[in-house]
Structure 1
């Protein structure tokens, strides 16, 4: 026994500090999170801060590895990837759920749920819990909602899109079949285009006009390919963070608590960052040479009169069971 202890001493003494740190890192709980935003996007920054917060709160015991700009998976691959456990987490803007969860598009009914305070209250609301319950039926677990925008921008190269008649015949970025109803109502020709592909489509002439949030117009450099922009409280967009439920349920309680606390902090941060970034983005787009029109209340009313009803009707057709209740809950937020 004495000899065995002596033989073990050099082995123990030979373990270096880096090796110990490596072993500790290997034993950390890993959360790989895929998203589509470029690193310069404000929500990408919120997610990066979330990862740093988890590391600090857990003393490195939980390692959130964030993969921006579709580095881990393309947007369409995120949901199946998380559902089958290929990676632990991803994000989705509410409208990208499309027909999979049609209720998610309620917030994107034009000019319906665009108030800042409504969006600030949403993560604590019954409407959020209602949507989380619907998400749970789709083999993933919703764990956070990050307010992303209530300030859209319609960009164009030939003339500003200010009045409803300006859209006639314009090939514009579509988002989903529901939102596209509003664009069709004013005579535009929407074409569904993932966010990372819009600038290329505008540059090549596949699209005449773009539709994105005003901050993304800066981070994705729309000003390099478009001359005009109309800023509108068109709809609200939130970024939902979701996880693999088997992985989530298998976490140690302390690890889950750390992640939940950091996500709650991120939900608050997202509101302030979104407002600040949107305000700065309008000025930056002007500095980059774009001619920017910020809609007046009269122009908002004019667009709403034409665009809202066909989308509201289409939403209720797509979500006949849960749609009316969700609209009621959103109005109460």
Structure 2
């Protein structure tokens, strides 16, 4: 009897040790972003987490934190660089302080259409920009997207540059965006996405500009009446990992993260393209007046030369020339 009890105890101990050992092998990854849960970026992040768990055989486990739960973009970038959070994504302008050349992606009216933007970030230019983040302690896994931005306003529809003059508009902290809106005669007010709804509701700002899935998911239709499909700027979204922690993973697990990030990128793009008509219809149902046809030429005339000169003065002409040359 004693012998049997001893065997049972030994077996239980062995199973417990095996279980603890298996748990110890699981690397948990916190993935933070500012987008609401209904956005394509969050849906893609959930798919990324699922793919990572499957492809790593459970060795990697991703937990997604949307809606600025772990802090605003600036705070979370610092946390990922410092290693207290493993992973995050944010609009490319938030990283321009680390890689000034990233500003090229945020120049309004730079990209002719979606294929032009995708060829830029997926090709040699994008690879070069991604590599630049490594000096800041970040490993970029892929370029996802915030998308093409369109303006909403509370009291006036936007058709011409005259319609935006004097507006207090929320913008990103990116200097290129701020300069562009100043050139158009607005008063740009940089602020985090998480603070924007209240600012619109209180009248601290009159207008905002985001891709329409963020406008819809954030319920800005409750505090804004007019949407014009300006598509005035494309915002790429670097998905980044703490470089030291990425380098500490096995090559196999690194490949899992990279392949899942690439698949997540394609999923998000497909969602954005598939959902656009539905989102516009929903915004109309919720009372927004939507202008779907827009002439960008008068706006581009006012901002193009000055924005390009500013970028070239800081970074040289080569990068802009390369983007313009993409067919």
Aligned-pair CA distance for 1:199: 1.5
The verdict on how the C-alpha distance between 1:71 and 1:6 changes in structure 2, with shifts beyond 3 A counting, is: same
Aligned to 2:233: 235
Aligned to 2:11: 12
The verdict on how the C-alpha distance between 1:278 and 1:25 changes in structure 2, with shifts beyond 3 A counting, is: farther
Aligned to 2:65: 67
Tell me, which stretches of 5 or more residues in structure 2 are unaligned?
Answer: none
Aligned to 1:326: 319
Mapping 1:1-333, distance limit 5 Å: 7-13=6-12, 24-150=22-148, 152-175=149-172, 176-296=174-294, 299-317=295-313, 319-320=314-315, 323-333=316-326
Tell me, which stretches of 5 or more residues in structure 1 are unaligned?
Answer: none
C-alpha separation between the residues in 1 aligned to 2:324 and 2:102? 15
Aligned-pair CA distance for 1:52: 0.6
Aligned-pair CA distance for 1:229: 1.0
Aligned-pair CA distance for 1:4: 8.5
C-alpha separation between the residues in 1 aligned to 2:184 and 2:262? 39
Q: TM-score, normalised by structure 2?
A: 0.91
1:200-258 Cα distance to aligned partner (Å, 9 max, x none):
11100100111111111100001000111111121111110111111111102221121
Structure 1 window deviating more from structure 2 (242-251 vs 99-108): it is 99-108
Is the contact between residue 41 and residue 215 of structure 1 (CA under 8 Å) also seen in structure 2?
Answer: yes
Q: TM-score, normalised by structure 1?
A: 0.90
Q: Which runs of 4+ in 1 moved over 3 A?
A: 3-6, 13-17, 19-23
Query: May I ask how many residue pairs the two structures share in their alignment?
Result: 324
C-alpha separation between the residues in 2 aligned to 1:4 and 1:35? 56
C-alpha separation between the residues in 2 aligned to 1:315 and 1:55? 41
Aligned-pair CA distance for 1:23: 5.5
The alignment yields a C-alpha RMSD, in angstroms, of 2.3
Aligned-pair CA distance for 1:315: 2.2
Structure 1 window deviating more from structure 2 (137-146 vs 96-105): it is 96-105
1:77-132 Cα distance to aligned partner (Å, 9 max, x none):
12221111112111121112243322212122111124211233344300011101
Structure 1 window deviating more from structure 2 (175-184 vs 159-168): it is 175-184
Is the contact between residue 43 and residue 268 of structure 2 (CA under 8 Å) also seen in structure 1?
Answer: no
Structure 1 window deviating more from structure 2 (241-250 vs 101-110): it is 101-110
Is the contact between residue 98 and residue 133 of structure 2 (CA under 8 Å) also seen in structure 1?
Answer: no
The verdict on how the C-alpha distance between 1:114 and 1:273 changes in structure 2, with shifts beyond 3 A counting, is: farther
Is the contact between residue 229 and residue 292 of structure 2 (CA under 8 Å) also seen in structure 1?
Answer: yes
Is the contact between residue 153 and residue 230 of structure 1 (CA under 8 Å) also seen in structure 2?
Answer: yes
The verdict on how the C-alpha distance between 1:307 and 1:16 changes in structure 2, with shifts beyond 3 A counting, is: same
Is the contact between residue 99 and residue 129 of structure 2 (CA under 8 Å) also seen in structure 1?
Answer: no
